Structure 1
Amino acid sequence: MEEQRKITKKYSNGEVTIVWQPHLCVHSTICFRGLPNVFDPRKRPWVTPEHAESETIMKQIDACPSGALSYLKETNEDEDVEVSNETIVEATKNGPLLVYGNISIKDHAGNFIKKNKVTALCRCGASDNKPFCDGSHTKINFEG
């Protein structure tokens, strides 16, 4: 498989900046099913944060299973967000392992990556972004 470019796009309403990293997206559709007036993949730009209150947007982004969508509060620059509850691992039907909570992942080169909220880990073996899910399970019709 061809390696996907790692780009980052930002969309702001002046209070919150939505950060989108398409290479992390697992195409769960949670964003646009939950808040279609802000997230509409049929439009350009597909993210329009001026169409909802910042708290509503942040709550919807918190449901993103891959971390492809995140946000920065304009008033709290560079503030790390940490989840203070236990870590939970959920195997999704025909999809990734979802890990809820704070985790540290050691990559193949020995580097540690800190993740919080929800992290999607590849379960099908086809991801080009291992150990993270990149949505390849849908392309190969993974069942499990």
Structure 2
Amino acid sequence: MKSVTKYYSNGEVTIVWQNEKCIHSTVCWKNSTGLPDVFNPKDRPWIKPEAAETAAIIEQVKKCPSGALSFFMNADVAQNAAPEAPETQPETQVQSETIIELAPKGPLMVYGNVVIKDADGKETRKSKVTALCRCGASANKPFCDGSHTKIDFQG
């Protein structure tokens, strides 16, 4: 999957979306958990930040389990300079125990600081929430890419 980062702004806040991190949890757009007026994967563009108050958008983005959604305040950029790309921002270190949760029909959700070492010894550090593939179909292993939905994973 080609890595794509997109920016959507309402003039006050800019929402950043990174496709390769997205696990398609639906937390952002489902009526019961999200802001469907702002986040609607059936529309183009699929993010419409002008459809809600900035505070509501920020709270919703903070709920993203994969970190595919992030945000920055435009006033901070105007005062300082261009924001760092999300992938180069320093990781937030969680000061708590690590918790692993099985998402129904989905990935292993790992909450906390983790270091993942691949077969070549390359280390990837993650904090906050990391979604690990459980279905075996991800093109971004060991991370989840939402393929469990496409294959109707029942684990």
Normalising TM by the smaller chain, what interval?
A: 0.7 to 0.9
Give distance in 2, aligned partners of 1:16 and 1:107: 36
Runs of 4+ in structure 1 deviating by more than 6 angstroms, as ranges, are: none
In structure 1, what is the Cα distance between the partners aligned to 2:12 and 2:111? 26
Distance across 1 between alignment mates of 2:133 and 2:26: 17
* Contact 1:32/1:40 (8 A) holds in 2: yes
2:53 aligned partner, one-letter code: E
Identity %: 58
**Normalising to structure 2: TM-score of the pair?**
0.78
Deviations along 1:30-82, one digit per CA (max 9) or x if unpaired, are 10121112111222211112222333222212222222222234427456433
Structure 1 gap segments, 5+ residues each: none
**Would you say 1:113 and 2:124 are equivalent positions?**
yes
Any idea what the Cα deviations from partners look like across 1:1-39, whole Å, max 9, x if unmatched? xxx211111112333321112233222211012111211
Partner of 2:28, secondary structure, is helix
How many residues align? The count is 141
Q: Is 1:37 the counterpart of 2:46 in the alignment?
A: no
- Name the structure 2 match of 1:15: 12
Looking at CA atoms only, which structure, 1 or 2, has the larger radius of gyration? 2
1:108-135 superposed Cα distances (whole Å, 9 cap, x missing partner): 3323222222211001111110110011
- Alpha carbons of structure 1 residues 32 and 48: separation in structure 2 relative to 1, 3 Å: same
Letter of the 1:30 counterpart: V
Query: What is the letter of the counterpart of residue 142 of structure 1?
Result: F
Out of 87, 94, 97, the position equivalent to 1:83 is 94
Deviations 1:82-105 (A, max 9, x none): 333322110111110011122222
Question: What is the CA RMSD across the aligned residues, in angstroms?
Answer: 2.1
Decide which moves more: 32-41 or 62-71.
62-71
Question: Superposition pairs for residues 1-144 of structure 1, below 5 Å?
Answer: 4-33=1-30, 34-74=34-74, 75=76, 77-78=83-84, 80=90, 81-144=92-155
Query: 2: distance between equivalents of 1:132 and 1:14?
Result: 33
Deviates more, 1:39-48 or 1:65-74: 65-74
Structure 2 residues without counterparts, runs of 5 or longer:
78-82
